[in-house]
């Protein structure tokens, strides 16, 4: 071969050889590294997308439930109800009074002396004229015996003088002197008997005694209180009324007197006196009623509630006082009505009964008696009103009626005193 052929052969050999650079076994590991990174990133993106989808679904569910709850409204409130009713109330005037004794005195001695006998017990019932206390009268009795002896002698002397005067043995002047001595002796006896009577303390009338205030052997000055004596036949109840009621109060008007917390505490009586003058400070009238006390359960000093019965009476729609909500803008009650859908059809609750709505109704209330209050305007007889749970209601609120624990309102409640 010539030189040119050899050179071409070498050149061809160089063309077929691979270019200089990294070998195949170094390129393969780098590709696999980037593939792994790409796969990890894709997996993370897939996980984030899945979590986002779950959260979006949860939020959508909550939004849907919120819309349903907003459409359905808040859950119904449990309340107790009562049907308004019409009652006829007699016209009355209420007042607060105090019981005083129809006859009551502090029994005391008239004359000074030492207590020798006590003939009563504290709280005893006595009759008119009964002896309560005797003071020592030994000196007065001795003086009385001497005075009676002088009286007997004066009687005998006067009798002889009259006999001698008839025979003309003595003068008329002597007879007159003996007559004067007789009258003087009789007067002395009467004075001593009166002195003895003053040292005997007697009951001035029938009644009940108070606590004994004296003891045996005690020296009493004149006018020392021995005990209290109160009549038990009847008592007075003193109370006041506004001057505007002067025309309604007359002697003989019946009254009801109530003693709080006492058994059989209502007593009947009549107005016995009306003060002719109006108190210039309070502008009230003083009234006194007489109440029989046959059971002896009315004691002076007791607090009493007085109801003066007027001839007029009225009929009112009444509800329990707990049904009335008092506010600065007016009084109101919540009455119940059937819940209806958009088509006007009555909605039935889960219990199969018509669902109820509470409607606030403003009312004008009158006087109250016991547990009731009279509604003068805004409510009719037979309407169902909320009596318990009204404080948590609003106008149009859904309610569920629970009357398991029923109210028992009364015109004259007698709560237990614990």
In this predicted structure, the answer to whether residue 286 has a pLDDT above a threshold of 90 is yes
- Condensed to tens digits (0 to 9), the pLDDT of residues 68-122 reads 666 656 678 888 899 999 988 877 888 899 999 888 889 999 899 999 999 999 9
Mutual angle of helices 138-167 and 172-198, in 10-degree steps: 160
Mean pLDDT of 285-302: 87
Residue 400: strand pairing partners: 78
Average pLDDT, the chain: 84
pLDDT of residue 1: 46
User: Last residue of a domain, which of 228, 246, 264?
Assistant: 228
User: Residue 2 domain-assigned?
Assistant: no
Closest alpha carbon to 388 in 322, 319, 332: 322
Could you tell me if residue 411 is inside a domain?
Answer: no
Q: Is residue 338 part of a domain?
A: yes
Average pLDDT over residues 131-145: 90
Same domain membership, residue 346 and residue 303: no
Q: What pLDDT, on a 0 to 100 scale, did the predictor assign at position 246?
A: 86
* pLDDT band at 266; cut points 50, 70, 90: confident
The stretch 177-187 carries a mean pLDDT of: 89
Q: Indicate if 98 and 83 belong to the same structural domain.
A: no
Q: Please check whether residue 16 lies inside any domain of the structure.
A: no
Work out the average pLDDT over 369-378: 88
Cβ-contact 239, 96 below 8 angstroms: yes
pLDDT of 7 = 47
Between 156-160, 201-205, 296-300, the lowest mean confidence (pLDDT) is in 296-300
CA-to-CA distance for 406 and 79, rounded, in angstroms?
11
* 287 has pLDDT over 60: yes
CATH number of 303's domain: 2.40.30.170
* CATH number for the domain that contains residue 190: 2.40.50.100
The helix or strand, by DSSP H or E, that contains position 141, with its residue range, turns out to be helix 138-167
Alpha-carbon span 230 to 105, nearest angstrom: 7
Average pLDDT over residues 389-405: 84
Whole domain around residue 188: which residue ranges? Answer: 109-228
In a domain, residue 260? The reply is yes
The pLDDT assigned to 245 comes to 85
Give yes or no for a contact between 361 and 336, defined as CB atoms under 8 angstroms apart. Answer: no
25 pLDDT higher than 70: no
Residues 198 and 140 in one domain: yes
pLDDT digits (tens, 9 = 90+) for 204-247: 988 889 999 999 999 999 999 999 998 878 899 999 999 988 88
Same domain, 48 and 186: no
387 lies in the same domain as 347: yes
Nearest C-alpha neighbor of 258 from the set 291, 296, 295: 291
What proportion of the chain, given as a percentage, has pLDDT over 70? Answer: 89
Same domain as 173, residue 147: yes
The answer to whether residue 272 is domain-embedded is yes
Percentage of residues in the chain with pLDDT exceeding 90? 26
pLDDT-derived band at 364 (thresholds 50, 70, 90) equals very high
Other C-beta atoms lying within 10 Å of the C-beta of residue 47? 10
Q: Of 81-90, 382-391, 401-410, which range is least confident?
A: 401-410
219 near 112, Cβ under 8 Å?
yes
Final residue in a domain of this structure, among 228, 261, 295: 228
Residue carrying the six token digits 């129809």: 102
pLDDT at 130 over 60: yes
pLDDT of residue 300: 86
Read off the pLDDT band of 296 (50, 70, 90): confident
Residues 340, 263 within the same domain:
no
| Overall domain count for the chain | 4
Q: Based on the domain organization, do 132 and 220 belong to the same domain?
A: yes
Q: Of the residues 228, 261, 287, which one is the last residue of a structural domain?
A: 228
Band of the pLDDT at 158, cuts 50, 70, 90?
Answer: confident
d(CA 268, CA 295): 13
**Does 416 map to a domain?**
no
Instruction: Identify the CATH number of the domain in which residue 364 sits.
Output: 2.40.420.20
DSSP 259: -
> Is residue 294 domain-shared with residue 240, that is, in the same domain?
yes
- Sorted by sequence, the CB contacts under 8 Å of residue 114 that are 6+ apart come out as 135, 136, 217, 218, 219, 220
């Amino acid at each position: 071969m010539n030189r040119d052929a050899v050179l071409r052969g070498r050149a061809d050999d160089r063309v077929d050889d691979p270019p200089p650079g990294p070998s195949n076994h170094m390129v393969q590991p780098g590709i696999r590294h980037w593939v792994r990174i790409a796969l990890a990133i894709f997996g993370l993106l897939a996980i984030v997308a899945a979590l986002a989808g779950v959260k979006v679904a949860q939020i959508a569910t909550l939004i849907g439930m919120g819309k349903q709850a907003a459409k359905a409204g808040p859950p119904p409130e449990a309340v107790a109800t009562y049907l308004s009713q019409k009652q006829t109330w007699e016209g009355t005037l209420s007042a607060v009074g105090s019981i005083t004794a129809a006859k009551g005195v502090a029994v005391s001695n008239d004359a000074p002396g030492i207590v020798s006998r006590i003939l009563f017990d504290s709280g005893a019932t006595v009759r008119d004229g009964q002896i309560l206390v005797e003071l020592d009268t030994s000196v007065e009795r001795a003086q009385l015996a001497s005075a009676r002896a002088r009286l007997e002698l004066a009687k005998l002397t006067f009798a002889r003088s009259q006999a001698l005067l008839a025979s003309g043995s003595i003068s008329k002047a002597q007879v007159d002197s003996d007559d004067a001595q007789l009258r003087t002796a009789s007067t002395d006896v009467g004075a001593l008997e009166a002195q003895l009577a003053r040292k005997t303390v007697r009951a001035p009338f029938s009644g009940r005694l108070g606590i004994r205030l004296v003891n045996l052997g005690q020296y009493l000055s004149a006018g020392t209180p021995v005990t209290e004596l109160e009549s038990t036949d009847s008592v007075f109840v003193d109370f006041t009324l506004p001057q505007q009621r002067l025309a309604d109060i007359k002697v003989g008007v019946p009254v009801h007197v109530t003693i709080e917390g006492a058994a059989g505490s209502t007593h009947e009586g009549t107005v016995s006196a009306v003060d002719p003058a109006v108190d210039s400070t309070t502008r009230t009238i003083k009234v006194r009623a007489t109440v029989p006390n046959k059971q002896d359960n009315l004691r002076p000093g007791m607090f009493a509630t007085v109801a003066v019965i007027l001839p007029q009476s009225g009929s009112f729609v009444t509800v329990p006082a707990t049904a009335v909500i008092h506010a600065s803008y007016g009084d109101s009650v919540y009455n119940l009505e059937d819940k209806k859908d958009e088509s006007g059809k009555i909605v039935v609750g889960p219990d199969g009964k018509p669902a109820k709505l509470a409607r606030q109704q403003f009312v004008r209330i009158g006087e109250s008696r016991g547990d009731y209050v009279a509604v003068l305007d805004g409510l009719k007889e037979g309407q169902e009103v909320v009596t318990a749970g009204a404080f948590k209601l609003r106008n149009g609120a859904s309610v569920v009626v629970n009357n398991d624990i029923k109210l028992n309102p009364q015109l004259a409640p007698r709560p237990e005193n614990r």
